[in-house]
Amino acid sequence: MSYLPRRRLLGALFSLTVLSFVALSVTTFGRVPEETFQVTPEHGNAPPQQHETNDRRPEVDLTHPPLPPAASEPDRDPVSEEEYSYSPRLVGPPTQSFRDNLRNDTKYITSWPSAGWTNDVMTYANLIYLGSLTERVPIIPMFTPSHIGGDAAPIPFGEVFDVPRFIEESGIEIVEWDEVKDPESNVVDDLGCWNIWEAVQYREHHPRPSAAPDWLKLDLSYTKAPDWVKLIPNYEHDSCSTFMALTRLSYPEERSRNIGHALPSPLHNAVLDPEEHVLCYDYLYYACAQQSYEYDFDYAPMWRYVLRHFHWTQRIELITQQYVREVFELPPGTNMPPFIAVHIRHGDFSNWCWAAENPEDCFAPISAIERRVKEVQDELRERKGLDVDRIFISSDEKDPAWWDQIKALGWRTVDHDAMRTAAVYGRWYPVIIDAAIQSAAVGFVGTDRSTYSIVSRRRVQSWQDGVTRVLKWGFKGADDH
């Protein structure tokens, strides 16, 4: 039986009210300018009692769609309140201490976010996959702010992704931390966790920092994992740990060989070995099956069995349909037309241009982007019989001359500031809606090594049976072929 926490039922009803309001008021905002939009650079979210880390694989974050009518959108079959219940994997409603809501006949697993939003999405997919390997129920934290400013509130996983649909499609049971522990609780719970981060890299001598435990009022005692969790021993340029190595630590015999040296927790000075009931790891972004950055490859089990089932909530789907219509100036109620999405990451990627003789040689020129778009158009025509001339582009490029060239091509983009996206929906929504728009495209051109592009490319391939290309960059002619 699918379920949704009862407090989210009220949120869903409120969301429909907001969407109805937007449907009536969107025309007052005017059309989206075809110029550029502003991208907020990714910042660390400086949680209390946390260290900042500087080893973050650059992650694309954007900031750019509009606001059309949603009230005319047909809803899915209405769900009565009786069908909303608490997860059968929990005792009942959220409790003041998380332990009071855990079943004695169920084992759990959790971990924390510690990067930009897309990287954290990957981290949670890795957590869920590891939970399936260890036969444990994953407890998923909220997303904590980084790219939108550390003063923003977190957003629940289930506000972004359709949890009941995920459980139904994947066959994997998950719960969220706000289902387990009351978000308003003042109880600080102690928990023993594995410190993976310190075992897989040699620059930072502490667990991977995260704001999530502070939001959840958890006081963590960490035990450094054994060195053998690292995929490539003694290699400083790779931080991968394999799922099977991490799985070993979840079972009693291997656990008993590697405990006994926990560090005191920061608040209570509690010295706790990693516990068996709730298996806890500090950071799982770098977990892999066989090699690093596996989401780039079609065999990646974390994508195939987990992340491809992270579908958007109905609310986000409705908003996305609104934005697509507005971008392409379509009447309310029109079905979404086929379009190609382009994502170009520049910004902080300029720090990776060491192989370019001149700064202007680092990124692929607009002519190369056009060529990739044409390749997608040609393959869509040949393979699916589609003539697609609508192009949606998002980028963090700030050069007005670059955007003038894009505008001259007739490609469309959005200005979230002009559309008041954050004011209407919240500060998380520019980046979320952009990703949702890209996922609805029948074709996609992305930026090599951008995690945002990687996940969007996978969604277009898997959800839309779409055509994709990746732009190479880093030196002059990198994308020549």
Question: What percentage of the chain reaches a pLDDT higher than 70?
Answer: 83
What is the rounded distance in angstroms from the CA atom of residue 165 to the CA atom of residue 116? 25
Residue 389, number of CB atoms within 10 A of its CB: 10
Q: Can you give the residue range of the structural domain that contains 162?
A: 46-58+86-308
pLDDT greater than 90 at residue 43: no
The answer as to whether 446 is a domain residue is no
Nearest in space to 371 (alpha carbons), one of 296, 453, 475, 480: 480
pLDDT at 308 over 80: yes
In a domain, 369, yes or no: no
Would you say residue 342 has pLDDT above 70? Answer: yes
Q: Per the domain annotation, does 314 fall within a domain?
A: no
- Range with lowest mean pLDDT among 68-72, 166-170, 246-250, 349-353: 68-72
Secondary structure string (H, E, C) spanning the chain = CCCCCHHHHHHHHHHHHHHHHHHHHHHHHCCCCCCCCCCCCCCCCCCCCCCCCCCCCCCCCCCCCCCCCCCCCCCCCCCCHHHCCCCCCECCCCECCHHHHECCCCCEEECCCCCCHHHHHHHHHHHHHHHHHHCCEEEECCECCCCCCCCCCCECHHHHECHHHHHHHHCCCCEEHHHHECCCCCCCEEEEEEECHHHHCCCCCCCCCCCHHHHCCEEEEEEECCHHHECCCCCCCCCCEEHHHHHHCCCHHHHHHCCCCCCCCCCCCCCCCCCCCEEEECCCCCEECCCCCHHHCCCCHHHHHCHHHCCECHHHHHHHHHHHHHHCCCCCCCCCCCCEEEEECCHHHHHHCCCCCCHHHCCCCHHHHHHHHHHHHHHHHHHHCCCCCCEEEEECCCCHHHHHHHHHCCCECCCHHHHCHHHHHCCCHHHHHHHHHHHCCCEEEEECCCHHHHHHHHHHHHHHCCEEEEECCCCCCCCCC
pLDDT, the chain, mean:
86
Q: State the burial class of residue 9 (Cβ atoms within 10 Å of its Cβ: 0-12, 13-18, 19+).
A: middle
The region of weakest confidence among 32-41, 205-214, 315-324, 389-398 is: 32-41
Does a structural domain hold residue 91? yes
Residue 4: band (very low, low, confident or very high) from pLDDT cuts 50, 70, 90: low
Q: Which amino acid is at 456?
A: S
Residue-wise pLDDT for 188-235, tens only, equals 999 999 999 999 999 999 999 999 999 999 999 999 999 999 999 999
Indicate whether 27 pLDDT > 90: no
| pLDDT tens string 277-288 | 999 999 999 999
What integer pLDDT is reported at residue 277 of this predicted model? Answer: 98
Q: How far apart are CA 207 and CA 126, in angstroms?
A: 18
For residues 430 and 320, the answer to whether their CB atoms sit within 8 Å is no
Q: Does residue 6 fall inside a structural domain?
A: no
Mean per-residue pLDDT for 260-269? 98
Confidence band (pLDDT; 50, 70, 90) for 93?
very high
For the cut 90, the answer to whether the pLDDT of residue 425 exceeds it is yes
Any residues with CB less than 8 A from the CB of 404 and at least 6 apart, and which? none
Tell me what pLDDT residue 450 has.
96
Burial of residue 91, with CB atoms counted within 10 A of its CB: 0-12 exposed, 13-18 middle, 19 or more buried: middle
Burial bucket for residue 256 (CB in 10 Å: 0-12, 13-18, 19+): exposed
pLDDT at 5: 57
Is-contact 144 211, C-beta < 8 A?
yes
Whether the pLDDT of residue 67 is over 70: the answer is no
**Backbone angles phi and psi of 33, in degrees to 5:** -60, 150
Residue 388: is its pLDDT beyond 60?
yes
Band of residue 85 on the pLDDT scale cut at 50, 70, 90: confident
Start-to-end C-alpha separation, the chain: 51
Map tokens 């040296």 to a residue: 261
CB-CB contact of 426 with 416 (8 Å):
no
- What integer pLDDT is reported at residue 414 of this predicted model? 87
The average pLDDT across 32-61 equals: 34
Is residue 191 a part of any domain in this protein? Answer: yes
pLDDT band at 9 (very low <50, low <70, confident <90, very high): low
Statement: residue 470 has pLDDT above 60: yes
What CATH code is carried by the domain that includes residue 180?
A: 3.40.50
Assess if residue 300 is contained within a domain: yes
Report the pLDDT value the prediction gives residue 15, as an integer from 0 to 100.
52
User: Is residue 103 scored above 80 in pLDDT?
Assistant: yes
* Reported confidence tier of residue 25, pLDDT bands at 50, 70, 90: very low
Per-residue pLDDT tens digits for 145-159: 987 888 899 999 999
- Residue 34 domain flag: no
Distance CA 23, CA 44 (A): 35
Q: How many domains does the chain have?
A: 1
Does pLDDT of 42 surpass 90?
Answer: no
Q: Given a cut of 90, is residue 1 above it in pLDDT? A: no
Considering the chain, what percentage of its residues have pLDDT values greater than 90? 77
For residue 233, the tally of other CB atoms under 10 A from its CB is 7
pLDDT at 151: 86
pLDDT tens profile 172-189: 999 999 999 999 999 999
Average pLDDT over residues 341-353: 92
